[in-house]
């Protein structure tokens, strides 16, 4: 039995980076017969480290769920659920915390980055760090290990978290027996592993440089027009291998379209023309799903039904696995 699992944190409307780095590869894997089970969840408890407004929290959860559905996740093959609907994950989190050296968490990237930022701002090192942020990788390990996950499709930024999950599993297996926890592997799809944002840095909500998926056509066009370009004249030849617009275009266009645009770059293309070409392929990809997304968000009962079904399917697995793990770790 081979299981794939991944989660998206509901901290805002999903963007092109989430689509290409996580959601699209995950949907493709669901249709791949090498895997018997796929679990996709909304990592809502992870969002609690930063979201303080319950209305925003709830809306974001629906937005992520609707995104998976609108983009065509096959709900007969995959289980879509909300992390916090499965209390077993919190029981396992505690057990894993007791197996994790504190030093490992000191070395976790997101915590370290926050500390570094505080040092630069000359404030207390732990300013603005809550225990949820500090323990984030352990809850994420529990997400993965609870379901006996083999493969976790994620973007490159999550590799360290999967390594942490693997090392916790190894520790548990040494202590309690090899069949305690399955050791997971990350799966990085090279094509979408590092999607650039409007300013050329990694597209991320924390940098405010995202192209979010569900903008109106007009806003999508405006956003794409904001992509940073240099001031070279329209007729000057341009390097297609050094262009954010081209990098994004390649993730949506067909090979023949890519070749044609590369040719235009070499001949000399105005940035306006390149941006329009990008808008057209992104918009073509998203216009069908956009309509489904909007309908789902306007009447959330369908999302509720899908998440309810996902909860009972995930719960069954979680109960069964937790029973085994609990017995191995506590004897009960």
- Active-site positions read 122, 202, 205
- Binding of ligand ADP at residue 144 (CB under 6 A)? no
**153-182 binders of ligand TRP (CB under 6 A):** 154, 158, 161
CB of 135 closer than 8 Å to CB of 164: no
How do 78-82 and 151-153 pair as beta strands? Answer: unpaired
Give the Cα separation of 12 and 15 in Å (integer).
9
Contacts 24+ apart (CB under 8 A), 34-38: 34/2, 35/2, 35/3, 35/4, 35/151, 36/1, 36/2, 36/3, 37/1, 37/2, 37/3, 37/4, 37/79, 38/3, 38/4, 38/5, 38/77, 38/78, 38/79
Sign of CA dihedral 37, 43, 44, 46: positive
Out of 4, 27, 39, 43, name the contact with ligand TRP by CB under 6 A. Answer: 43
Nearer to ligand TRP, 63 or 243 (CB): 63
User: Rounded to the nearest 5°, which phi and psi values hold at 210?
Assistant: -95, 155
In the complex, what is the shortest distance from the CB of residue 71 to ligand TRP, in angstroms, rounded to a whole number?
16
Region binding ligand TRP by CB under 6 A among candidate stretches 4-12, 49-57, 100-108, 169-177: 4-12
- Binding of ligand ADP at residue 161 (CB under 6 A)? no
Nearer to ligand TRP, 117 or 206 (CB): 206
In the complex, what is the shortest distance from the CB of residue 236 to ligand TRP, in angstroms, rounded to a whole number?
39
Nearer to ligand TRP, 144 or 278 (CB): 144
Please give the DSSP secondary-structure letter assigned to residue 184. P
Out of 5, 9, 83, 141, name the contact with ligand ADP by CB under 6 A. Answer: 9
DSSP helix/strand/coil, 67:
helix
Out of 3, 18, 30, 321, name the contact with ligand ADP by CB under 6 A. Answer: 18
Radius of gyration of the chain (CA): 21
Task: Mark out the alpha helices in the chain (DSSP H runs).
Answer: 16-18, 24-30, 44-47, 54-70, 88-97, 102-106, 109-120, 131-146, 159-176, 217-225, 244-250, 255-267, 271-298, 301-330
Out of 158, 209, 212, 243, name the contact with ligand ADP by CB under 6 A. Answer: 158
In the complex, what is the shortest distance from the CB of residue 148 to ligand ADP, in angstroms, rounded to a whole number?
20
Nearer to ligand TRP, 152 or 244 (CB): 152
- Binding of ligand TRP at residue 6 (CB under 6 A)? yes
- Binding of ligand ADP at residue 45 (CB under 6 A)? no
- Binding of ligand ADP at residue 326 (CB under 6 A)? no
Q: Please, which residues have CB within 8 angstroms of residue 293's CB and are 6 or more apart in sequence?
A: 66, 67, 69, 70, 213, 214
Give the Cα separation of 176 and 328 in Å (integer).
6
User: Cβ of 269: how many Cβ atoms within 10 Å?
Assistant: 24
Which of ligand ADP, ligand TRP, none does residue 17 bind (CB under 5 to 8 Å by kind)?
Answer: ligand ADP
Nearer to ligand ADP, 152 or 329 (CB): 152
- Give the tokens for residue 213: 């998926």
In the complex, what is the shortest distance from the CB of residue 144 to ligand TRP, in angstroms, rounded to a whole number?
5
Nearer to ligand ADP, 160 or 173 (CB): 160
- Binding of ligand TRP at residue 140 (CB under 6 A)? yes
- Binding of ligand ADP at residue 247 (CB under 6 A)? no
**Residue ranges binding ligand TRP (CB under 6 A):** 5-7, 9, 43, 46, 140, 143-144, 152, 154, 158, 161
**Residue ranges binding ligand ADP (CB under 6 A):** 8-9, 11, 17-18, 20-22, 154-155, 157-158, 192-195, 202-206
């Amino acid at each position: 039995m081979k299981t794939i699992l991944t989660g998206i944190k509901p901290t805002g409307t999903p963007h092109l980076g989430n689509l290409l780095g996580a959601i699209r590869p995950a949907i493709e894997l669901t249709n791949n017969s090498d895997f018997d089970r796929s679990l996709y969840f909304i990592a809502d408890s992870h969002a609690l480290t930063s979201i303080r407004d319950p209305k925003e929290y709830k809306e974001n959860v629906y937005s992520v769920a609707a995104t998976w559905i609108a983009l065509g996740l096959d709900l007969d093959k995959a289980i879509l659920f909300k992390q916090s609907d499965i209390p077993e994950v919190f029981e396992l989190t505690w057990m894993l915390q007791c197996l994790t050296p504190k030093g490992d968490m000191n070395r976790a990237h997101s915590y370290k980055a926050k500390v570094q930022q505080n040092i630069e701002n000359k404030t207390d090192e732990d300013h603005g760090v809550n225990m949820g942020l500090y323990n984030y990788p352990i809850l994420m390990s529990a997400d993965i290990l609870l379901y006996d996950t083999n493969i976790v499709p994620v973007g490159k930024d999550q590799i360290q978290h999967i390594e942490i999950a693997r090392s916790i599993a190894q520790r548990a297996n040494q202590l309690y027996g090899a069949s305690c926890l399955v050791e997971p592997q990350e799966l990085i799809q090279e094509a979408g592993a590092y999607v650039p944002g409007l300013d050329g840095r990694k597209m991320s909500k924390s940098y405010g440089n995202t192209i979010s998926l569900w903008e109106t056509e007009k806003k999508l066009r405006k956003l794409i027009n904001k992509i940073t370009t240099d001031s070279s004249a329209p007729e000057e030849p341009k390097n297609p291998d050094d262009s954010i617009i081209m990098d994004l275009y390649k993730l949506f266009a067909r090979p023949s379209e890519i070749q044609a645009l590369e040719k235009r770059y070499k001949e000399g293309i105005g940035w306006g023309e390149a941006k329009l070409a990008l808008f057209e392929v992104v918009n073509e990809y998203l216009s069908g799903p956009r309509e489904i997304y909007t309908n789902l968000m306007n009447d959330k009962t369908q999302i509720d039904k899908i998440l309810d079904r996902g909860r009972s399917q995930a719960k069954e697995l979680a109960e069964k696995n937790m029973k085994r793990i609990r017995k191995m770790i506590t004897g009960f």
